[in-house]
Amino acid sequence: MRPPVTDHRDGPRDECGVFGIYAPGHDVANLAYFALYALQHRGQESAGIATAPRGREIMAIRDQGLVAQVFDEHKLRSLVGDMAIGHVRYSTTGASAWENTQPIVRDDRRTLALAHNGNLINAVELHAELREHDVAFSSTSDSEIIAALLASHPAERIEDAIADVLPRLRGAFSTVVLTEESVVAFRDPNGVRPLVLGMIEDERSGQAAYCVASESCAFDLIGAKYLREVLPGEVITLTDGGVQTRMVAEGERRAFCVFEYIYFARPDSKMAGTVLQVARARMGEILWREAPVDADLVIPVPDSGNAAARGLARAAELPQDDGFIKNRYVARTFIQPGQELRRLGVRLKFNPLPEVVAGKRLIVVDDSIVRGNTTRQNMQMLRDAGATEIHLRISAPPIKHPCHYGIDMSSREEMIAHGRTVEEIAEELGVDSLHYLSLQGVYEAVGVSRDAHCDACFSGDYPLAGTEEANGKFDLELPLLKA
């Protein structure tokens, strides 16, 4: 078993990424591998793939670590079949442990494998109900609750089981399921987390294969064409017959996570009809419109601030340069720096360039601040490198509320914006000025309306009733220990 990955980032932690494909005649394990590789940004704690020849046994390999650490050619060759699902994980319910890696395989009334992105806000209640009916669990993730409900359901068809179970699930869940006959994908009725449908055209046979993924960037890497998003409350079945769809639930309103546009999704993914690289550049343009300042140079905090910095620099007609150099090979490390390295100011991720920033009035652009620890260190490094002024611009509003729908954002008390004014945050971070993009600016940049989105991490306006009383990340650990 691999050790858990230590994450040194100060921003919101990633969530999860899912992929599913039904493609007889294709190397589905390889396609799943490369799709997960494209989705690696959504979770770096573990990775897994499950495959099956139609009508035969499901095989799965999953482990802690990055996609390229978990799989090699030998393992991929052992995963044969006509269909596959895959998962990359960042834990939002349950610890980062091998038992919580996915896809989860259950063998109750039916055998299935399941991969899930999101978070159930009624996980503790459902877990207790299943345990009362002597349903055993081997993990502490809410994903296994969904798998257990579906695997133990008496309905003959998996689609009928999903139609009955889905209304009982509360929260965010973009889910792919592999049975011995098909790949099935479904999305929560509010559409909080993303899920999209794609197609691979086989020029030799003239037949099409279909796939689903958390983001369209996964399709780009495997040569699939983006078709559309999976609708909230929709169940999609991929089989020999192509794509079958069924609406099984309707939410009170759509509540797609606005933070996907700002931070989580890859900049080359398409959401709401827009490539996010373009939307994020518009965020930078609006940042400048909202808070212009006299400055000499615009620099991003790489890579999260790159697109917004370009947009801001363009709108301000200011030069842009790389004030930080990012070490891309230590963003996830198994080794904590010792006390001596911390005392010497080890720079695990960023190194400032005095030759670029010294003597300059800087506009520094990033996409978000949660706790502020890393941001504070970065701003001090720029001061030490000779920056005369630092004007920090953030392409998101202040994060003041935790997410209960599949993003690990810390507790409210840990957030630097909790109970502080913008001026107080600026003083805490050691910058000359600070401006957060307004919520209206975010929606303007993306070109979407607020009434179809969730922005609770900024506004505290949770779209699902009972959210603030939802279970915590480790609330399912205790029942398992008592078992």
Query: Which residues span the domain enclosing 31?
Result: 6-255+475-482
Q: How far apart are CA 187 and CA 178, in angstroms?
A: 15
Q: Quick check: is 213 in a domain?
A: yes
| Residues 430, 432, 438, 442, CA torsion sign | negative
Is residue 156 domain-shared with residue 207, that is, in the same domain?
A: yes
- Between CA 26 and CA 102, with CA 187 as vertex, the angle to 5 degrees is 60
Is residue 194 domain-shared with residue 302, that is, in the same domain?
A: no
Q: Quick check: is 428 in a domain?
A: yes
| Active-site choice (16, 211, 217, 457) | 16
| Residues 367, 373, 374, 379, CA torsion sign | positive
Query: Has residue 323 got a pLDDT over 60?
Result: yes
Give the tokens for residue 25: 């005649």
Amino acid at site 193: R
Q: Could you identify the residue written with the tokens 């502020």?
A: 372
pLDDT tens by residue, 16-65: 999 999 999 999 999 999 999 999 999 999 999 999 999 899 999 999 99
Q: What is the mean pLDDT of residues 148-161?
A: 97
Q: Can you list the alpha helix ranges (DSSP code H) found in 140-275?
A: 142-151, 158-165, 217-222, 259
Relative to beta strand 453-454, strand 256-257 is: parallel
Say what the pLDDT of residue 204 is: 72
Strand segments (E) across 23-99? 46-52, 59-64, 83-89
pLDDT tens by residue, 370-394: 999 889 999 999 999 999 999 999 9
Torsion of CA 210, 49, 214, 205, to 10 degrees: -20
Which CATH number goes with the domain that contains 312? Answer: 3.40.50.2020
Say what the pLDDT of residue 5 is: 38
For the entire predicted model, the pTM comes to 0.89
pLDDT tens by residue, 215-262: 999 999 999 999 999 999 999 999 988 999 999 998 889 999 999 999
Say what the pLDDT of residue 203 is: 73
Q: Quick check: is 331 in a domain?
A: yes
Is residue 282 domain-shared with residue 236, that is, in the same domain?
A: no
**Residue 85 vs residue 272, higher pLDDT:** 85
- Burial degree of 419 (CB within 10 A; 0-12, 13-18, 19+): exposed
Say what the pLDDT of residue 30 is: 97
Q: Which H or E run includes 286?
A: helix 276-290
Q: Quick check: is 464 in a domain?
A: no
Is residue 136 domain-shared with residue 33, that is, in the same domain?
A: yes
Is residue 210 domain-shared with residue 357, that is, in the same domain?
A: no
| Contact by Cβ (8 Å): 58, 102 | no
pLDDT tens by residue, 74-89: 999 999 999 999 999 8
Q: How far apart are CA 93 and CA 87, in angstroms?
A: 15
Which CATH number goes with the domain that contains 30? Answer: 3.60.20.10
pLDDT tens by residue, 444-471: 999 999 999 999 999 999 999 888 766 5
Q: Quick check: is 263 in a domain?
A: no
Give the tokens for residue 250: 């309707």
Is residue 211 domain-shared with residue 129, that is, in the same domain?
A: yes
> How many structural domains is the chain composed of?
2
Say what the pLDDT of residue 3 is: 38
Q: Quick check: is 465 in a domain?
A: no
Is residue 300 domain-shared with residue 352, that is, in the same domain?
A: yes
- Burial degree of 333 (CB within 10 A; 0-12, 13-18, 19+): middle
pLDDT tens by residue, 118-138: 999 999 999 999 999 999 999
What's the pLDDT band for 97 if we cut at 50, 70, 90? confident
Q: Quick check: is 266 in a domain?
A: no
Is residue 148 domain-shared with residue 37, that is, in the same domain?
A: yes
Q: What is the mean pLDDT of residues 319-348?
A: 66
What's the pLDDT band for 330 if we cut at 50, 70, 90? low
Give 428's contacts (C-beta < 8 A, 6+ positions apart). Answer: 372, 376, 416, 420
Known catalytic residue at 16: yes
Is residue 361 domain-shared with residue 293, that is, in the same domain?
A: yes
Q: Quick check: is 289 in a domain?
A: yes
Is residue 275 domain-shared with residue 134, that is, in the same domain?
A: no
Say what the pLDDT of residue 482 is: 45
Give the tokens for residue 29: 């394990």
Is residue 37 domain-shared with residue 63, that is, in the same domain?
A: yes
| Residues 59, 65, 68, 73, CA torsion sign | negative
Mean pLDDT of the chain: 89
Is residue 303 domain-shared with residue 249, that is, in the same domain?
A: no
